[in-house]
Amino acid sequence: MTVLALAVEGRGLVDPREPAVHADDEAVLRGRAAFETVRVYGGIPFKLESHLVRLAGSCERIGIEPPDADACRELASLALGHAGEPDVSLRLYRTAGREQAGAPQLFVLVSAIPPHLEELRARGIKVVSLLGVRAEAPWLLGGVKSTSYAVNMAAEAEARSRGADDAVFVTDDGLVLEGPVTNLWWRRGSTLFTPSLDLGILAGVTRDTVLELAPEHGFDVEQGRFPLSELARADEAFTSSSVRELLPVVELDGKAIPRGDAAATLQAALREKAQRLR
């Protein structure tokens, strides 16, 4: 994503071409940092407060002092003011700090929204199932948004190498978890299904928004532990995440999944809600 602005705690606005972290920051050395990706609509970060709560939770799980929420809001508005574009992605990073000196660092990045997303939304995405980790053991950091995302990125690359757009993690006993950077949904009749948080998946902010919007649009929601075969026989499926929003899934492991109206209806409802909050 093209970086439009960078703001660093204690330094203010920094030229994005300049370094913002030390080479011996534990974020670099061991991936010990937490982050959030927030969609900004018309200059207003959508559900920033929910993201700040999740960021604090992720920090606690990896033993980093959570950042001050006001400092996050101030850096965000500084960077957004400088970016000069209203519809962007805002990422907040809390790193563990330098290996020996140890003070946690905070910085935010504002980036352009990847231009191909609307094309993907129009054509729908192909996904392949890959073995993931059911992280019910807290030390496996299920549900934590840390920068140790090399496995998630490798899963995306594996999906692409198999001719798909994205991956769906499943447990070794075949339960659907989530995508590398998305939550997963499917519909049968007027019921939407999504894996439950006790599986150790990330509590997506967009997932929460879909949970709020679904009943207003005539959908029941069931959260639970579902085998991949349930997704395979869905009437429709889609992913949810802050920047990608809702993307229809049109193929799973080489087999077509029909398209339906729920993804488009809820995508429109999400945009409308973001519009109302502006």
Ligand X SMILES: Cc1ncc(COP(=O)(O)O)c(C=O)c1O
List residues binding ligand X (CB under 6 A). 37, 145, 178, 181-183, 202, 204-207, 240-242
Which is nearer to ligand X, 40 or 202 (by Cβ)?
A: 202
Which is nearer to ligand X, 129 or 240 (by Cβ)?
A: 240
Q: Count Cβ atoms within 10 A of the Cβ of residue 118 and give its class: 0-12 exposed, 13-18 middle, 19 or more buried.
A: exposed
Which is nearer to ligand X, 24 or 60 (by Cβ)?
A: 60
Q: How far is the CB of 218 from ligand X (least distance, A)?
A: 22
Q: How far is the CB of 53 from ligand X (least distance, A)?
A: 11
Tell me which amino acid residue 67 is: P
Residue in the structure block whose two tokens are 């490798």 = 154
Which is nearer to ligand X, 25 or 166 (by Cβ)?
A: 166
Q: How far is the CB of 47 from ligand X (least distance, A)?
A: 8
In sequence order, what E strands does the chain have? 3-8, 12-14, 33-41, 44-45, 88-95, 105-112, 125-131, 166-170, 183-188, 191-195, 220-224, 236-241, 245-252, 255-256
Q: How far is the CB of 101 from ligand X (least distance, A)?
A: 29
How far is the C-alpha of 238 from the C-alpha of 242, rounded, in Å? Answer: 14
Of 177, 151, 155, residue with least CA distance to 164: 155
Which is nearer to ligand X, 97 or 237 (by Cβ)?
A: 237
Tell me which amino acid residue 154 is: A
- Tokens at 200, concatenated: 């150790």
Q: How far is the CB of 175 from ligand X (least distance, A)?
A: 15
Q: How far is the CB of 75 from ligand X (least distance, A)?
A: 19
Which is nearer to ligand X, 205 or 247 (by Cβ)?
A: 205
DSSP 8-class letter at 253: T
Rounded to 5°, the CA angle 98-146-204 comes to 150
